[in-house]
Amino acid sequence: MEANLSGTGRLPAAFLTPGSSSFLDFLDSHAPQLLPGRRTLPEGMTVEAPHGTTIVSAVFDGGVVLAGDRRATMGNVIAQRDIEKVFPADEYSAVGIAGTAGLAVEMVRLFQLELEHYEKIEGAVLSFEGKANRLTTMIRSNLAMAMQGLAVVPVFAGYDLDLGRGRIFTYDVTGGRSEERSGFAATGSGSVFARGAMKKLYRDGLTGEQAATLAVQALYDAADDDSATGGPDLARKIFPIVTLITEDGFRRLDEDEVAAIAVTITEQRREHPNGPQAPLL
Amino acid sequence: MSTPFYVSPQQAMADRAEYARKGIARGRSVVVLTYADGIVFVAENTSRALHKVSEIYDKIAFAAVGRYNEFENLRIGGVRYADLRGYSYDRADVTARGLANVYAQTLGTIFSSVGEKPYEVELIVAEVGRTDADDQIYRLTPDGSVVDEKNAVVVGGNADSIGSYLGQRHRSGLGLAEALKLAVDGLARDPNGGSPRTLTPEQLEVAVLDRQRPRQRKFKRILGGQLARLLSGDESAAAEDEGDASADTE
> Per the CB < 8 Å rule, is A34 touching B74?
no
Q: What single-letter amino acid sits at A50?
A: P
Q: Is A17 a catalytic residue?
A: no
Q: Report the distance separating Cα B211 and Cα B78, nearest Å.
A: 21
| pLDDT tens, residue by residue, A51-80 | 998 999 999 999 999 999 999 999 899 999
Query: What H or E segment, with its residue span, contains residue B149?
Result: strand B146-149
Q: Which of A17, A40, A53, A243 is catalytic?
A: A53
| CA of A12 vs chain B CAs: smallest distance (Å) | 9
What CATH architecture is B9-249?
4-Layer Sandwich (3.60)
Those residues whose C-beta lies under 8 Å from the C-beta of residue B198, and which sit 6 or more positions away, are: B188
Give the number of other Cβ atoms within 10 Å of residue B138's Cβ.
21
Query: What H or E segment, with its residue span, contains residue B188?
Result: helix B176-188
Do residues A79 and A224 make contact, with C-beta atoms less than 8 angstroms apart? Answer: no
**Chain A: residue whose CA lies nearest to B48:** A123
- Among residues 19-48 of chain A, which lie with CB inside 8 Å of chain B? 23, 26-27, 30-31, 34
A255 has pLDDT over 90: yes
Query: What H or E segment, with its residue span, contains residue B232?
Result: none
| pLDDT tens, residue by residue, A87-145 | 999 999 999 999 999 999 999 999 999 999 999 999 999 999 999 999 999 999 888 88
The predicted model gives A1-10 an average pLDDT of: 50
| Out of B79, B106, B109, closest to residue A121 by CB | B79
The predicted model gives A158-167 an average pLDDT of: 95
| CA of A70 vs chain B CAs: smallest distance (Å) | 24
Q: Which residues pair with B154 in a beta bridge?
A: B31
- For residue B3, how far is the Cα from the chain centroid? 44
Helices (H), B48-158: 68-88, 96-112
pLDDT band at B197 (very low <50, low <70, confident <90, very high): confident
Closest C-alpha among A271, A248, A244, A270 to residue A258: A244
CA dihedral B214, B218, B219, B224 (to 10 degrees): 20
The predicted model gives A216-244 an average pLDDT of: 96
pLDDT at A8: 55
Among A5-9, A167-171, B9-13, B61-65, which is the least confidently predicted range?
A: A5-9
Instruction: Give Rg (Cα) of chain B.
Output: 19
B245 has pLDDT over 70: no
The predicted model gives B228-249 an average pLDDT of: 66
Q: Percentage of chain A with pLDDT > 70?
A: 97
pLDDT at B1: 62
pLDDT at A62: 93
The mean predicted confidence, pLDDT, of chain B is: 89
pLDDT at B241: 55
pLDDT at B140: 96
Q: How far apart are the first and last CA of chain B?
A: 64
What ipTM was estimated for this complex?
Answer: 0.89
Chain B CB contacts of A11 below 8 Å = 77, 81, 102-103, 105-106
> Per the CB < 8 Å rule, is A113 touching B56?
no
pLDDT at A281: 87
| pLDDT tens, residue by residue, A132-148 | 999 999 999 888 888 88
> Per the CB < 8 Å rule, is B88 touching A9?
no
Chain A CB contacts of B105 below 8 Å = 4, 8-11
pLDDT band at B71 (very low <50, low <70, confident <90, very high): very high
| CA of A219 vs chain B CAs: smallest distance (Å) | 29
| pLDDT tens, residue by residue, B140-178 | 999 999 999 989 999 998 888 899 999 999 998 899 999
Higher pLDDT, A229 or B248: A229
* CATH number corresponding to A48-271: 3.60.20.10
Those residues whose C-beta lies under 8 Å from the C-beta of residue B94, and which sit 6 or more positions away, are: B57, B58, B60, B82, B85, B86
pLDDT at A47: 78
| CA of B195 vs chain A CAs: smallest distance (Å) | 36
Higher pLDDT, A273 or A48: A273
**Chain B: residue whose CA lies nearest to A107:** B87
> Per the CB < 8 Å rule, is A31 touching B84?
yes
A11 has pLDDT over 90: no
